[in-house]
Amino acid sequence: MRTTIATSKRVVIKVGTSSLMYANGKINLRTIERLVRVIADLSNQGREVVLVSSGAIGVGIHKLQLDEAPIEMAGKQAVAAVGQSELMHIYSKLFGEYGHVVGQVLLTRDVIDFPDSRKNVTNTFAKMLEHHIIPIVNENDTVSVNEIEHVTRFGDNDQLSAIVSEIIEADLLIILSDIDGLYDSDPHKNKAAKLIAEVQAITPAIEKLAGGEGSRFGTGGMVTKIEAAQRVLHNKSKMVITNGADPYIIHAILAGKQIGTLFSLEEK
């Protein structure tokens, strides 16, 4: 039930590049400031919050004043290195204004797949949360590659956020996107499309509803969010997909209001 969301103690919030960047390639400082204020307030309430933030490449493109991302892998990774540094600077400065300390956690899939390294990551998150440090997580784009015999990429931060939720045993994952939730048809093509309020299982019918790619600066689409939801449900947790244009919506979600699409094994 949605009312149980209000009692969520440990929350993962994933914000996509489309929420952090304007369509013209500039950084959306208004949204970032609101997101930081919301997370700081949730922490003040006694909740434990982990932020999974995309945006390294988008912010890097802005910082370097490029028209678009480089085509070659090394160029993309170099841009990501610049963007990740700038993004963390912005987060650290804004969270600091509200009296909160942040810590950067950059992950690759091989770290999660091996028991020893997974244990180390789990312990790191636990200690950070114990000391009221807000972890800010992203994929390590400067080293993550997808080669024939060495696959280290998560593929997108939707999947990464679900894995982080699993690692820290989060009660709730909130994915802030550029769409209001899961619809019964493509809302960009069908004005009569209806938002699906709640999903209890990822069925073939639900999978068919997901389609399309991410924004100009992002990598994920609804397909990756459904895959994330499948992992969350498997771990008997909850997930909400909603529009991240105004992060204040997080307060309404945690108040139990029907917003976006809720993925939960519990029935109403």
Look up residue 9 and give its amino acid: K
Annotated binding site for ATP: 14, 177-178, 219-225
Look up residue 24 and give its amino acid: N
58, 70 Cβ separation under 8 angstroms: no
Higher pLDDT, 101 or 69: 101
| Mean of the per-residue pLDDT values of the chain | 88
User: How far apart (Å, rounded) are the C-alpha atoms in residues 227 and 18?
Assistant: 19
pLDDT bracket for residue 145 (50, 70, 90): low
Q: What is the DSSP string of 50-106?
A: EEEE--HHHHHHHHTT-SS--SSHHHHHHHHHHHHHHHHHHHHHHHHHTT-EEEEEE
Annotated binding site: 14, 54, 141, 157, 177-178, 219-225
Mean pLDDT computed over 67-73? 88
pLDDT at residue number 76: 87
User: Between β-strands 238-243 and 261-263, what pairing exists: parallel, antiparallel or unpaired?
Assistant: antiparallel
User: How far apart (Å, rounded) are the C-alpha atoms in residues 235 and 177?
Assistant: 22
pLDDT digits (tens, 9 = 90+) for 218-234: 334 788 899 999 999 99
Lowest mean pLDDT among 97-106, 177-186, 255-264: 177-186
Lowest mean pLDDT among 20-34, 80-94, 145-159: 145-159
Helices within the chain (DSSP H only): 17-20, 29-44, 56-63, 73-97, 109-113, 115-130, 157-168, 204-209, 222-234, 249-254
User: Between β-strands 10-15 and 172-177, what pairing exists: parallel, antiparallel or unpaired?
Assistant: parallel
pLDDT of 144 > 80? The answer is no
User: How far apart (Å, rounded) are the C-alpha atoms in residues 38 and 234?
Assistant: 28
Mean pLDDT computed over 22-44? 96
pLDDT at residue number 84: 95
**pTM attached to this predicted model:** 0.90
Mean pLDDT computed over 133-139? 96
pLDDT at residue number 152: 47
Lowest mean pLDDT among 70-74, 209-213, 260-264: 209-213
User: How far apart (Å, rounded) are the C-alpha atoms in residues 95 and 101?
Assistant: 7
pLDDT of 14 > 90? The answer is yes
Supply the CATH classification number for the domain 2-263. 3.40.1160.10
236, 162 Cβ separation under 8 angstroms: no
Look up residue 29 and give its amino acid: L
pLDDT at residue number 209: 84
Q: Which of 66, 91, 86 is nearest to 76 (CA)?
A: 66
Sign of CA dihedral 6, 243, 240, 104: negative
Annotated binding site for substrate: 54, 141, 157
Return all residues near 71 (Cβ < 8 A) that are at least 6 apart.
none
